[in-house]
Structure 1
Amino acid sequence: MSDDWPGGAPPESARDHDERIKGPVVLRRSQIPHTTTDQRLLDSRERADWVHTDPWRVLRIQAEFVEGFGALSELGPAVSVFGSARTPRDSPWYEAARELGHRFADAGIGVITGGGPGIMEAANRGACESGGVSVGLGIELPFEERMNPWVDLGVNFRYFFARKTMFVKYAQGFVVFPGGYGTLDELFEALTLAQTRKVTQFPVVLYGTAYWSGLLDWLRTAVLDEGAIAAPDVDRLIVTDDVDEVVGHFHAS
């Protein structure tokens, strides 16, 4: 029996990656479209029929917010955890994220991730294994990974901006593991919200000092020296290699 999936190995259909999630809809094989909802919304090369279709898009966007708010409104204390979807299961980062999920669950704090593989799976897995709240917020992508099996409460989104709202609204703060563009996007979005005081008392913790040191050096020299940010904008970042220290920055009540 495999310990990678709850209850053993996944069924044959779960190993088939020929699948697309569009909000609450599952599409497979010939039903999969060639573009995503976000692509069609943002593509300026569309025909002029957008004049007639965009008002209907507003209703779909509204529905995503309503669905997300309804699913998460009674979530309780939780932290959003980000990191690379490409992190392998034998990586020390994966094990650290899994342990963090355990610790958060033991502290009565839920874990929110993007619901994918890698770091997201690890954090969801740790929370699930310890009987905690494990949440995944998925997104429609051309190269989509399905929701990882350790998510107990999953919501799939078409639009990035609706999904991003949920990551912030229902979390007490962010923990950011090593990752790529998507991880950096969420990191700087949180820093921008804190800098502009759109959110208050919102810790942003970077896990992995060796990975993040280059970015911090750049912020403290090139960006700060240019006057593009102020010293407190850098100081608000918490950097650590200690899972216990991460948990210590958040509270269940």
Structure 2
Amino acid sequence: MRSYRRGPVLLRGHQIPEKTTDARLLAPDQDSDWLHADPWRVMRIQAEFVEGFGALADLGPAISVFGSARTKPGSPHYELARDIAARLVEAEFAVITGGGPGVMEAANKGASEAGGISVGLGIELPFEQGMNDYVDLGIHFRYFFIRKTMFVKYSLGFIVLPGGYGTLDELFEALTLVQTSKVESFPVILVGRDYWQGLLDWMVNTQLAEGMISPGDENLVTVVDTVDEVMEALEKGLHAIAEARHANGT
């Protein structure tokens, strides 16, 4: 039987809603009943923030790994994500993913097998992904914006493998926050030059050339291919942040 998870609640059969919590919140055609419903939404939103902060407060240094949920076990990208996560654990980082299949599963698996902390931040979707079996600490969220807050707040850097719209969403969310100084600059590492180079060329040849981004914005990301390059870029990025803090006296 099909299962559907909404926050901590598991639904099946006729209990499965037609719309996700996010979709209902953002629906433009609501009548005045929202005046009565939204205070309860605020309480649910507050509760999710409290739950996330409480679960992750003592996590320690962590790196988020993103990538496609469609990546198949045993494929090159799957194995690369697994190896990257294992190396992150060796460097004493916890590994955070979206908790689903594909690259997320691979990274959680690599972290778990290496004896590290494997975290999954799940989300309510119209189709059930479920939390993969390699997550040691898992949280299911109703709202994307709360989940995104947790990724940014508790990560020292983002490692992004090939993926689709969701992966691009997380990537550009991070770049926007760094560009606008909403968060302190942190390493954003794209893995797979063949996959990402076209996007980076467009950023330079179109966005930068037409003045849509500022000179230097194209350097907010680092593109690599191997596990060793990932770790080198991460170390370099974190070192640069530490030096900037020291120079600023913070």
1:130 matched residue in structure 2:
114
Q: Give 1:79 shift.
A: 0.4
Q: Name the SS for the 1:35 alignment partner.
A: coil
For 2:27 and 2:71, how far apart are their aligned partners in 1? Answer: 31
Bigger helix fraction: 2
For 2:33 and 2:67, how far apart are their aligned partners in 1? Answer: 39
Structure 2 gaps of 5+ residues are 243-250
1:110 matched residue in structure 2:
94
For 1:107 and 1:237, how far apart are their aligned partners in 2? Answer: 21
Letter in 2 for 1:148: N
TM-score under structure 2 normalisation? 0.92
1:59-208 superposed matches below 5 A? 59-208=43-192
Letter in 1 for 2:144: F
Letter in 2 for 1:121: E
Letter in 2 for 1:67: E
Letter in 1 for 2:180: T
TM-score under structure 1 normalisation? 0.91
Q: How many residues align?
A: 237
Whether 1:233 aligns to 2:217 is: yes
1:214 matched residue in structure 2:
198
Letter in 1 for 2:196: W
Q: CA RMSD in A?
A: 1.4
Q: Give 1:247 shift.
A: 2.2
1:38-49 superposed matches below 5 A? 38-49=22-33
Q: Give 1:34 shift.
A: 1.1
Letter in 1 for 2:17: P
For 1:195 and 1:201, how far apart are their aligned partners in 2? Answer: 8
> Which runs of 4 or more aligned residues in structure 1 lie more than 4 Å from their structure 2 counterparts after TM superposition?
none
Q: Name the SS for the 1:179 alignment partner.
A: coil
For 2:215 and 2:9, how far apart are their aligned partners in 1? Answer: 46
Q: Give 1:27 shift.
A: 1.1
2:245 matched residue in structure 1:
none
Q: What percent of counterpart residues are identical?
A: 63
For 1:149 and 1:177, how far apart are their aligned partners in 2? Answer: 20
Q: Name the SS for the 1:21 alignment partner.
A: strand
Q: Name the SS for the 2:216 alignment partner.
A: helix
